[in-house]
C-alpha cells in the first residue's frame, strides 16, 4: 500500500501539472479537493483518466467519485480493491 500511495502522489503531480507541489508534500490523508490540495472539477476528470491509464480501472459509478478521490489513501484503497477484482 505504501508503494502504491507513493506512486499515486507522483502520478497526481504529473497528471495535474502541479508544478509548485512535490509528491512528498501531499499527505496520505490530506483532502485532495477544496480545503486540502485545492483541486477542481477538471482535476477530478483527470484523476478518472489517471485511473484508466495507469491502473486500467474505470470508475463504474460517478456517485462514488467524492469517496474514491477524497484522499490519496482512499484512491489507493479503491485501486487495491478493484485490481483484486480485475485479476
Partner 1 sequence: MISKGIVTKNGQPVFEGGALEPSDFLISAYRHFGLQYPRFYKMDNIGKLGWLANEVLLQDGFDKEKYPAKEVGIVLSNASSSLDTDIKYYETVKTIPSPALFVYTLPNIVIGEISIRYGFKGENAFFIFDDFNAGFIEQYVSGLVNNNILQACICGWVEWLEGNYKAALFLVEKDKTKDSVTFTMENLTKIYQLQNG
The site for partner 1 (CB under 8 A) is made up of: 16-21, 38, 42-43, 45-46, 49, 52-53
**Nearest distance in Å: CB 78, partner 1:** 18
CA–CA–CA angle 81, 59, 20 (5° rounding):
90
**Nearest distance in Å: CB 68, partner 1:** 16
**Nearest distance in Å: CB 1, partner 1:** 26
| DSSP code string of 15-69 | HTT-TT--GGGS-TTS-SBTTSS-B-HHHHHHHHHHHHHHH----S-GGGHHHHT
Question: By C-beta, is 21 or 77 nearer to partner 1?
Answer: 21
Amino acid at each position: 500500500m505504501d508503494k502504491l500511495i507513493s506512486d499515486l502522489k507522483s502520478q497526481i503531480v504529473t497528471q495535474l501539472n502541479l508544478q509548485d507541489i512535490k509528491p512528498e508534500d501531499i499527505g496520505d490523508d490530506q483532502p485532495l479537493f477544496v480545503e486540502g490540495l485545492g483541486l477542481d472539477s477538471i482535476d477530478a476528470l483527470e484523476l478518472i483518466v489517471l485511473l484508466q491509464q495507469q491502473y486500467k480501472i474505470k470508475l463504474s459509478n460517478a456517485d462514488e467519485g467524492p469517496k474514491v478521490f477524497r484522499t490519496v489513501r482512499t484512491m489507493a484503497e479503491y485501486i487495491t480493491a478493484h485490481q483484486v477484482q480485475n485479476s
